[in-house]
A and B are shown apart, each in its own frame.
Chain A
């Protein structure tokens, strides 16, 4: 499995999670559990940590482990953007609005402490951000950064322009993906061979010949005529979001919250075939959540058909002390529970 993938997570504290440990994640991970158990919060924790870690690792000196040339102000600033993107997703607001609010009073975040792959930890304590990478002694002790002094960041003026939306450059959380991001991503895909693959899937599943950006709008070509995406149903929009997100990423992790949302149950198998195939092709790890029994059954069916063993099914529940626990099932365990008819949607 790819070294960039999340294999385990340890959440000392994040929203509803306390002293939570889980491991055994594979390339595709479907999460289920009762309402408000913390499925999305779990994905947020993974998102925050894996992307912070990726930003850290994007430094060219990471692999050769030579001292600490990393611009820590820049690094803290990037993490701050990730935090805001999570808040945007949770509060269902847009980034600009959050940003403008921030102009008057800095948005507050609850303290947290999360660790992935026993390598990288990120903690926020009393508004002080503390990243830590284990085993890279040469990088020295990490500076902490106080969010209240965010505007003193040397990069702040470079990125922030009054009344201009700052650039959020991570689109891996699907519900963060607004239509502007999708347009940018489609434009990017047009520059490489993935654009043809995207169209191939659209014609196979929806008989849509082509997707394109015309007059700054997403248009779909059907029966030789272009129509606006808004004329199509939510299911197609959601499929397109997922296709574009998967094709736009490589060697990283993407998060698809409520993956079945708006998709007719008859198309669930196609959805999973896409996710399983493209994630393999692009070497992308996927975390997805669902409430739907049909979606879980479809996931099982398609994994079995494709003989895909790099999957897990994660069932969330609570112990007697109300702590959240995760039951991570590999394919064989998942297979056995489904075949025998055991409930897998939380306890």
Chain B
């Protein structure tokens, strides 16, 4: 089995859809919803004990993929932003000292900012993106990608093009999980 660690429910929903699209064996995945990025970055979190037991005692998990949001680096939290997130992930992977392959993926927009929602909005075609931008300009107040995604797409179960090139790296990382 493989383990996928992520921040919240929205990740889980999208991952399930991606796995369906690429015909990945969902029954071979053990999901861990850490409910927040800081929990993923806390190696003392109880889930890591469970994962360690799964790896060393039960020998149930062979590979791990950690998925986090990049967030914006103007945030006061030092682990926000693409590079700080990447550095922190590398650090915790060493600190966890699990004797199995661990990979990571950082959700962001084309400017390496944002989160899952920014990533999903980045795969929309130009016309749709322009339309959203026009709405944002017209509305004047700043609207987050999370709000935009939840308001325009999530409610309508908008079908994303999972074969879009922006999904390529995530797709490869997911497929790699199942290569023995």
- Bound-state Cα–Cα, A342 to B33, Å: 11
Chain B residue nearest in CB terms to A321: B59
Asked, given contacts A333-B50, A340-B12, whether A325 binds B31 with beta carbons under 8 Å apart, the answer is: no
B58 near A327 with CB under 8 A, answer: yes
Give the distance in Å from the alpha carbon of A126 to the alpha carbon of B30 in the complex: 43
Question: Is the C-beta of B57 less than 8 angstroms from some C-beta in chain A?
Answer: yes
- Measured in the bound complex, the distance between the Cα atoms of B58 and A320 in whole Å is 9
Q: A340-B12, A347-B1 are in contact. Are A317 and B30 (CB under 8 A)?
A: no
Is B31's CB under 8 angstroms from A347's CB? no
Contacts A327-B54, A347-B1 known; list 16 others, CB within 8 Å: A317-B58, A319-B59, A320-B59, A325-B57, A325-B59, A327-B53, A327-B58, A333-B50, A336-B33, A340-B12, A340-B33, A341-B16, A342-B30, A342-B31, A343-B27, A347-B60
Nearest Cβ in chain A — how far from B30, in angstroms? Answer: 5
CB of A338 to closest CB in B, whole Å: 12
Structural contact, B33 and A325, CB atoms closer than 8 A: no
- Complex interface: chain B residues within 8 A of A337 (CB): 30
Kindly list chain B residues whose C-beta atoms are within 8 Å of the C-beta of A320.
Answer: 59
Interface residues of A in 309-347 (CB under 8 A from B): 317, 319-320, 325, 327, 333, 336-337, 340-343, 347
Report chain A residues within 8 Å CB of B27: 343
B118, chain A: closest CB distance, angstroms? 24
B31 touches A341 (CB 8 A): yes
From A325, which residue of chain B is reached at the shortest CB distance? B58
Q: Provide 29 A-B residue pairs closer than 8 Å at the C-beta atoms, listed in order of the A residue.
A: A317-B58, A317-B60, A319-B58, A319-B59, A320-B59, A325-B57, A325-B58, A325-B59, A325-B60, A327-B53, A327-B54, A327-B58, A327-B60, A333-B50, A336-B33, A337-B30, A340-B12, A340-B31, A340-B33, A341-B16, A341-B31, A342-B29, A342-B30, A342-B31, A343-B27, A343-B30, A347-B1, A347-B58, A347-B60
Q: Complex Cα distance A325/B58, Å?
A: 6
10 closest residue pairs by CB, A with B:
A319-B59, A325-B58, A343-B27, A340-B31, A347-B60, A342-B30, A320-B59, A327-B58, A347-B1, A342-B31
Instruction: Name A336's closest neighbour in chain B (CB-CB).
Output: B33
Per-position 1/0 for B23-55, Cβ under 8 A of A: 000010111010000000000000000100110
User: CA A233 – CA B176 in complex, angstroms?
Assistant: 50
Chain B residue with Cβ nearest A320: B59
How far apart sit A340 and B30, CA to CA, in the bound complex (Å)?
9
Query: Could you tell me which A residues sit within 8 Å of B by CB distance?
Result: 317, 319-320, 325, 327, 333, 336-337, 340-343, 347
Chain A nearest Cβ from B26, distance in angstroms: 8
- Give B134 Cβ to nearest chain A Cβ, in Å: 38
Segment 52-69 of B: residues with Cβ below 8 Å from A: 53-54, 57-60
Q: Which residue of chain B has its CB nearest to the CB of A342?
A: B30
**What B residues does A317 contact at CB under 8 A?**
58, 60
User: With A and B bound together, what is the CA distance between A201 and B49 in angstroms?
Assistant: 42
- Chain B: CB-nearest residue to A21: B57
CA distance A243 to B60 in the complex (A): 37
Smallest Cβ distance from A87 to chain B, in angstroms? Answer: 31
Complex: A327 Cα to B12 Cα, angstroms? 23
Q: How far is the CB of B65 from chain A (nearest CB, A)?
A: 15
Q: What residues of B have a CB within 8 angstroms of the CB of A336 in the complex? A: 33
